[in-house]
Amino acid sequence: MFRQVIAPHIVDRFVLDANGKLLGSYRASVGDVYPTVDDAPYEVGDVLWVKETFAKGKIVYGEDSNGTTHPYISQCADDIGYVPKEYALRHEIGIDDVVWSPSAHMPRKAARIFLRVTDVRPERLWDITESDAYKEGVSANRLIDNTQKSNKWCRYSAIVAGLKDEKRPTTATHTGAYAMHWDALNTKRGHPFSLNDWVWVYQFERIKHSQSIAKAQGFTSLGAYVDNQIKQHGSWDPEEVRDENTRDD
């Protein structure tokens, strides 16, 4: 799940009832009220690829002074490939002195995660629920071991309850953690949580895939395979590599 601020010119088209409920959108060129989701950047069925912090290079193995073999990332001139940082950390691959590239620069051919949009809806930011906040990947439990963040999270939980005119919580909440995360990313962009912006709410399903399909044709990743398919045929059918039994690597 993911929330994205709706552009002002799209919000200007909203048609609301007396209670502020969204009824749809209106444009003179259309001449009638139409579904607001028609203006969303992405629609149900669209396939997106996830950009991650990554390193250019490849995973190799070497021995330490004790003769123990360990994997590490080599970035010599002839080392062609891409290694996501999260993958390296999860598999305990040595990352000392590795030069990382920001996620914004990751090319599609390096991608390992593809998502299909399953639902799109517009709503106010404050409409986020505890369940939705957890699905956004912001778990309150992750902040417990950090005293400074934990205290800030508790304050945010109380602030969110006040903004939403709800009873002050006796414990910190996932929505409080989400609001703290939101402000860290968006306050400097002019969209603090307190503004209660209209947002697009996207839900996804991960496209499971068999790496064997790509590797059998000499590609190092699904992203490289997809990139080639689009260049060769102008499109790519996600169902071609769908495999619900494949684990996420």
Whole-number Cα distances in Å, 186 to 51, 62, 125, 170: 19, 43, 12, 27
Does residue 66 fall inside a structural domain?
yes
Residues 170 and 196 reside in one and the same domain: yes
CA dihedral for 172, 174, 180, 183, sign (positive or negative): negative
Does residue 133 fall inside a structural domain?
yes
Give me 242's structure tokens. 């769908």
Residues 42 and 141 reside in one and the same domain: yes
Q: Which pLDDT value is given to residue 144?
A: 53
Does residue 237 fall inside a structural domain?
yes
Q: Tens place of pLDDT for every residue, the chain, 249 residues?
A: 999 999 999 999 999 999 999 999 999 988 899 999 999 999 998 988 889 999 998 888 888 788 888 888 888 877 678 888 988 888 888 888 899 999 999 888 888 888 889 999 999 999 999 999 999 887 666 555 555 566 777 888 888 888 888 888 877 788 988 999 999 999 999 999 999 999 999 999 887 654 556 666 777 777 777 777 767 766 566 555 443 333 333
Q: Which pLDDT value is given to residue 71?
A: 87
Strand runs labelled E in the chain: 2-5, 14-16, 22-27, 32-34, 47-49, 54-56, 58-63, 69-74, 82-84, 114-124, 198-206
Residues 86 and 144 reside in one and the same domain: no
> CA 64 to CA 74: how far, in whole Å?
15
Does residue 110 fall inside a structural domain?
no
The tally of domains found in the chain comes to: 3
Residues 197 and 236 reside in one and the same domain: no
Residues 240 and 187 reside in one and the same domain: no
Task: For the beta carbon of residue 136, count every other beta carbon within 10 angstroms.
Answer: 19
Residues 44 and 57 reside in one and the same domain: no
Does residue 122 fall inside a structural domain?
yes
Residues 192 and 225 reside in one and the same domain: no
Give me 75's structure tokens. 């970035």
Give me 126's structure tokens. 């404050």
> CA 144 to CA 153: how far, in whole Å?
9
Host domain of residue 58: 52-105
